[in-house]
Homo-oligomer: A and B are copies of this chain.
């Protein structure tokens, strides 16, 4: 599970004294700070001042490196999308038996959200305004997930081997797998309040993870 975005920008190894000017590091610091601020407060609620302060740099550099608040938001979105794709690339579902492959997909999908709660918040904002940035981004367009076709392959294989029932649409299955985890993480606070039950605890998470895996696996039985 990648945690790249939490790492500090690499120091140039040969530099004796700490670099006072390091554009790459500065850009990364801004991006990291922006990710946190946007996740905490949304696009409209985020403050450029706050982002610069978190990054420990001058506010003007936001404009120097990214143009404006909106472009910075897009850069963050591209980052988190790249991150999720990177994680997907590490799955290597191909060699596995259908059942194991689907199970692994569900679990890693759940775990990714658990590890990157900001992803959800960023996406929610993006969806509210009609995916304006995502649709405009060439980079994200190029990141089309290979998972749907993979899910399709796995389903077919599973049907062939008698592991899965037929008639399951791979796109919708993928959406379901994502949604079963996404909604849980996304709505933990209101669900906890409504049910009077803390769903953010590790125990509750484990229970949810198990439930999601079970639900999907049972649903796929022939």
Q: A residues touching B (Cβ–Cβ < 8 Å)?
A: 40-45, 121, 123-128, 130-131, 134-135, 140-141, 144-145, 148, 165, 167, 169, 171-173, 175-176, 178-180, 182-184, 186-197, 207-208, 211-212, 214-216, 218-221
Q: Which of B40, B192, B197, B216 contacts A219 (CB 8 A)?
A: B216
State the copy count for this chain: 4
Q: How far is the CA of A189 from the CA of B173 in the complex (A)?
A: 18
Report B-chain residues with C-beta under 8 Å of the C-beta of A126.
189-190
**A141 neighbours in B (Cβ, 8 Å):** 193
**What residues on B are CB-neighbors of A44 within 8 Å?**
41-42, 44-45
Contact sample, A vs B, 24 pairs, CB 8 Å cutoff: A42-B45, A44-B44, A123-B187, A124-B186, A126-B189, A131-B192, A135-B189, A140-B193, A140-B194, A145-B194, A171-B197, A172-B208, A173-B211, A175-B208, A176-B180, A179-B183, A179-B184, A183-B183, A214-B219, A215-B215, A215-B216, A215-B219, A216-B219, A218-B220
Residues from chain B with Cβ under 8 Å of A194 in the complex: 134, 140, 144-145
* B134 A176 Cβ-Cβ under 8 A: no
Q: Tell me whether B135 and A193 are in contact (CB under 8 A).
A: yes
Q: A222's closest neighbor in chain B, by CB?
A: B218
* A79 CB, nearest partner CB in chain B, Å: 15
Could you say which of A42, A208, A220 has the most chain B C-beta atoms within 10 Å of its C-beta? A42
CB neighbours (8 Å) of A125 from chain B are 42
- Name the residue of chain B whose CB is nearest to the CB of A169: B211
Contacts of A195 in B (CB 8 A): 148, 171
Known contacts A41-B44, A42-B45, A134-B193; A215/B176 CB under 8 A = yes
Which partner residue on chain B sits nearest A195 by CB separation?
B171
